Amino acid sequence: MRALRILLITAVILGGLFIIADRLAVNYAEGEAAERIRANQGLAGSADVSIKGFPFLTQVMGKELDQVDVTLTGVEASAGGRKVRVTEMKAALEHVRLQNNFSTAVAASASGTARISYADLGKASGEDVTVGYGGNGKVKVTGSVEIPVLGTVTRSVLSSVSLAAGDTIRVRADKVPGEGIPGVEERIRERTDFDRQVGGLPTGLKLTKVEATPEGVVVTVTGTDVVLAG
């Protein structure tokens, strides 16, 4: 009985030490991964990485992580040749395979969202317009144009936001007051309607949905065999 008690106590102590070592290792890995992401992306904001699953050390030995959750702020993406700031990006990566001496990771599947503020969407439009939330899932776009006879005309329109060609955010006014004058609607639409192709996404990741919310435009992304270079 004494020997069994000693064995059980030893097992409990070793198990506790393993758990402590495992948690220390995962905390260190999360910090290193977050710092590498910040450096590679040149983030002005922050990066947070959370590695799921237990134990972590056996996952590393097998070179596959069950799930990795990433939250980024201050990301700069490419949209139609322009830089657009992504306020916040969240992604869940499933079954992440570690390759090339841990310098590359490939997620079997990934899903996430990216939120772009209306101020940053307005800058990405390439026009001198103000963009805001119009309610009921619509975007409100306000711009001014010079029109013969009328002079400077400022109009606000409610616009729908959608995906086009799988990689382009499209903003189109539902209706534009034409003042009964030929060409007025076209001139206003030249200012308020725009497309912005989103580039620079990791290989395997694609846009699947876009919607207007009170906090900004939210883009949903999903993908398989998503490649993340270290």
Q: Mean pLDDT in each 10-residue stretch from start to end of the chain (230 residues)?
A: 45 49 72 73 73 82 86 72 76 87 82 88 79 92 77 83 86 79 79 79 83 93 80
Contacts 24+ apart (CB under 8 A), 56-61: 56/22, 56/23, 56/25, 56/26, 56/29, 57/21, 57/22, 57/25, 60/25, 60/29, 60/98
Strand partners, 152: 146
Whether 109 and 97 have beta carbons less than 8 Å apart is answered as: no
CA–CA dist 71, 66 (Å, integer): 17
CA–CA dist 147, 219 (Å, integer): 35
pLDDT at 49: 84
pLDDT at 210: 92
pLDDT at 137: 92
pLDDT at 160: 94
pLDDT at 111: 93
pLDDT at 196: 81
